Amino acid sequence: MEPPLAVHHLAVVVADLDRAERFYSGVLGLPVLRRWDDAAGQPRSVWLALGGGAFLAVERAGAPNAPHREDTAPGLHCLALGIRPDARERWRTTLAEAGFPVERESPYTLYTRDPDGNLIGLSHFPDPAP
């Protein structure tokens, strides 16, 4: 058996789909690939391009077929997106101006939270910042 080729997509469940889209597309700049409605015609999901063919599926909590977690057991810790090392400080400013300040950082990654509290990393590992 050969191993999987790559990450196909990641999914995150959010309380407010419009607010999440403003963060992921408006603040982070991820292009919207597609929007999905549920059977009642209500917005259910927004898919955003991550690069390399992968995408982020942002799913409305409580929507039919939305992923559901029964508890707070181990699960996804962080969604880390790649940035250029020389863009680190511009990202810090962009996040702060949009109301999503960096809450912690490593030499390679800035961490913030999306509107639903999910940990988002902007990483340039293994290249150091200038």
Long-range contacts made by residues 46-52, C-beta under 8 angstroms, separation at least 24? Answer: 46/17, 46/20, 46/21, 47/9, 48/21, 48/24, 50/7, 50/9, 50/10, 50/81, 51/82, 52/6
- DSSP states of 9-40 as a string? EEEEEES-HHHHHIIIIIIT-PPEEEEEE-TT
CATH homologous superfamily of 1-64: 2,3-Dihydroxybiphenyl 1,2-Dioxygenase, domain 1 (3.10.180.10)
pLDDT band (50, 70, 90) for residue 3: confident
Interval 89-100: pLDDT, tens: 999 999 999 999
- pLDDT tens digits along 44-77: 999 999 999 999 999 998 876 666 555 555 677 8
Q: What average pLDDT does the segment 2-6 reach?
A: 85
pLDDT value at residue 6: 87
| Residue 10: Cβ within 10 Å count | 13
- Whole-model pTM: value is 0.87
**Confidence (pLDDT) at 93:** 98
Chain-wide mean pLDDT for the chain? Answer: 91
CA distances from 108 to 10, 111, 127, 129 (A): 22, 10, 7, 7
SS3 71: coil
* Residues carrying CATH 3.30.720.120, the chain: 77-130
CATH fold, domain 77-130, is: 3.30.720
Residue 80: burial class (beta carbons within 10 Å; 0-12, 13-18, 19+): middle
pLDDT at 28 over 90: yes
Identify whether 126 is preceded by a cis peptide bond (ω within 30 of 0).
yes
User: What confidence score (pLDDT) does residue 82 get?
Assistant: 94
Q: According to CATH, where is 3.10.180.10 located in the chain? A: 1-64
Task: Give the per-residue pLDDT at 67.
Answer: 63
Q: Extract the tokens encoding 111.
A: 């961490």
